[in-house]
Amino acid sequence: MKTENLESIARKLVAPGKGILAADESSGTIEKRLKSISVPSTEENRRAYREVLFTTKGAGEFISGVILFDETIRQKTRDGRTFVKALEEQGIIPGIKVDKGAKGMANFPGEKITEGLDGLRERLAEYRKLGARFAKWRAVIAIGEKIPTHTCITANAEALARYAALCQEGDLVPIVEPEVLMDGAHTIERYFEVTQETLESVFHALYEHRVSLEGMLLKPNMVLSGKDCPKQASVQEVAEATVRCMKRVVPGAVPGLVFLSGGQTDQQATEHLNAMNQLPDLPWQLSFSYGRALQAPVLKEWKGEQANVAKAQQAFHHRAWCNSKARFGKYTEDMETAKVA
């Protein structure tokens, strides 16, 4: 019974035309985002900003789930509904980030290991009671000279698998996120190689920990040229490399891949998703779980002012619509300036 429930939630999260909004920025990250529009990171400003996103009318047409942060899952709208309830009223499934952040890995300079396994079973039970139906854990793999090491990759894969097993035990769909960073001058070929090795290690650990693949989602990075690589791959090259890499290592039993945007511009992230969905023979749903790529235009319009809420919500609705079109491979550049239809 439990497994059936997990599978049905996982499938709903990657329903055709829909994707996930990652709004689970930790305190440090949201402070950075708000600072970029000169808004101080007070609890009320963080709440008000998230309310803009979560109460956007019609968002449920394009957004299947929202990932919340510990503080956010406990907050309410101005009219007193919990955020969980406000999302559910829009047909959106609430989720929760449960890792405690990526910390420097002892003895491995430049590499990180994600913390948060201690007490996780109890925290998951509480989040489930608060209304979460899925969870997220992010591992971070950096590319550089002599890194990533095998030790860093396998330590993170093991933690991801232990997290995923605990989620399924607690009736939450785990989103497994091993993010290989785009920061650096690496070529797309190198990015491919490291992404493949990382995902192989992750799926091996998931198998060892008896995680049900049908009851989880993978949140991978796309395979592109490193941010500072002098030769930037085209949209078509990125789409082909990413799908080729995923096909090698991600079992078809996984219902969907929800890509992170990882520092791409909002338009790039949409273009890449669109091009991937135009490729033939895709064994899984290819969707999005974007943070920055969905929120950048919203922050820009909102600027911390109640008077700008309508414009900010329009920007969010529009961005979500563009990505919804990309889920079908039907996005075109002229939609950037078009009205949602």
Residues that bind ligand 13P (CB under 6 A): 22, 138, 177, 260-262, 289-293
Name which of 6 and 22 has its Cβ closer to ligand 13P: 22
CB of 138 to ligand 13P, least distance (A): 4
79 vs 24, 86, 110, 247, CA distance in Å?
A: 22, 10, 46, 46
CB 156 within 8 A of CB 139: yes
Q: Which is nearer to ligand 13P, 31 or 57 (CB)?
A: 31
Write down the least CB distance from residue 202 to ligand 13P, Å. 15
Residue 141 or 260: the one with the smaller Cβ distance to ligand 13P is: 260
Q: Which of 177, 179, 271, 301 is catalytic?
A: 177
**Residue 139: both structure tokens together:** 């591992």
120 Cα distance to chain centroid:
20
Tokens matching residue 50 = 């998230």
Of all residues in the chain, what percent are helix, strand and coil, respectively (each to 5)? 50, 15, 35
CB of 96 to ligand 13P, least distance (A): 12
51 is catalytic: no
* Catalytic-role residue among 18, 97, 136, 219: 219
Nearer Cβ to ligand 13P (55/264): 264
Which residue's CB is nearer to ligand 13P, number 6 or number 175? Answer: 175
Instruction: State the Cα–Cα distance between residues 206 and 214, nearest whole angstrom.
Output: 12
Residue 288: CB minimum distance to ligand 13P, A? 8
Q: Which residue is nearest to ligand 13P (CB)?
A: 291
Shortest Å distance, C-beta 64 to ligand 13P:
15
* Active-site residue, 208 included: no
- Measure CA of the first residue to CA of the last residue in the chain; give whole Å: 39
C-alpha gyration radius of the chain = 19
d(CA 145, CA 142): 10
Please tell me what DSSP assigns to residue 186: -
39: which residues sit within 8 A by CB, 6+ positions away?
Answer: 45, 49, 303, 304
Catalytic positions, please? 177, 219
